[in-house]
Structure 1
Amino acid sequence: MATVDECRQALHGLAARLERNAETRGKLDFDRTLACRVPDLETAFHGRLSGGLLTDIADGDDPNAKIALIAGSDDLVALVAGRLDVTRAVASGQVKVKANPFDLLKLRKLL
């Protein structure tokens, strides 16, 4: 099982990757709050997706977040590291994403 710190580092790594992607692809018109819940560690993180970037990452849940990612600690770390395919993980229920369908389409463009 990954630690809370490893999950936090994974999210910051994802933020850095999105920033690099935004430089090459241009910014995406997308502004949503995000919650990342890690049930096996009984912890959560929150932040904001804005302009194709993940910003304001902080500890704690945001129950009003427009997008919620729910994943086990090992799955979160593997997902961000590219060792776990997001489409397969979501299809199998290994990772859950709660968002409206239009937001899901925009999220796919980010990754």
Structure 2
Amino acid sequence: MATPEECRAALEQLSRSMATAEGNVRSAAAVDRSLSCRLTDLDLTFTGVLRDGRIQEVAQHPGAPAAKADIRLTMTGDDLVALVGGRLNFAGAWASGRVRLEAGFRDLLRLRTLL
């Protein structure tokens, strides 16, 4: 099972990857939205803000998110690490229910480029 530290490192890696992206991926990440990533197996949530193509203001909280973020992800810590590491395909994980993504319709359209 992934540790909270490994999950934070995966989110930091995702943020770095988004910051160095170009073209459609860069513009898709250049939104200003609140973000939460609930890790069910660790009973913890990371929150932050997707701004200027990066995940900023990352904080860790026990349990479920206290507030509803604009973009909400739910998965296990192992799946987060595997997704960021390229060992798990997002579309397949989402279709099978391993990863849950909730966001407004416009955000979903914009995020499809990232996924």
TM-score for the superposition, normalised by structure 1: 0.89
The reply on whether 1:77 has 2:77 as its aligned counterpart is: no
Q: Within 5 A, what are the aligned runs for 1:1-111? A: 1-21=1-21, 24-25=22-23, 26-28=26-28, 29-60=30-61, 61-111=65-115
* Cα contact 1:32–1:49 (8 A) shared by 2: yes
- 1:110 to partner: Cα distance: 3.0
Cα drift, residue 101 of structure 1: 2.1
**Structure 2 Cα separation of the partners of residues 35 and 63 of structure 1:** 9
Following TM superposition, the consecutive aligned residue runs of length 4 or more in structure 1 with deviations greater than 6 angstroms are none
Mapped contact 1:35–1:44 kept (Cα < 8 A): yes
> How far is the alpha carbon of 1:62 from its aligned partner?
4.8
Larger fraction in helix: 1
Does the 8 Å CA contact 1:36/1:46 hold for their aligned counterparts?
Answer: yes
Equivalent position amino acid for 1:99 in 2: A
C-alpha distance in 1, partners of 2:45/2:33?
Answer: 17
Secondary structure of 1:76 counterpart: helix
Aligned residues: 109
Could you list the runs of 5+ residues in structure 2 that have no partner in the other structure? none
Give the TM-score normalised by structure 2.
0.86
CA–CA distance in 1 between the matches of 2:66 and 2:15? Answer: 18
For each residue in 1:58-84, what CA deviation from the matched residue of structure 2 results, as whole angstroms up to 9, or x when unmatched? 112352211110010110100111111
Segments of 5+ residues of structure 1 without an aligned counterpart are none
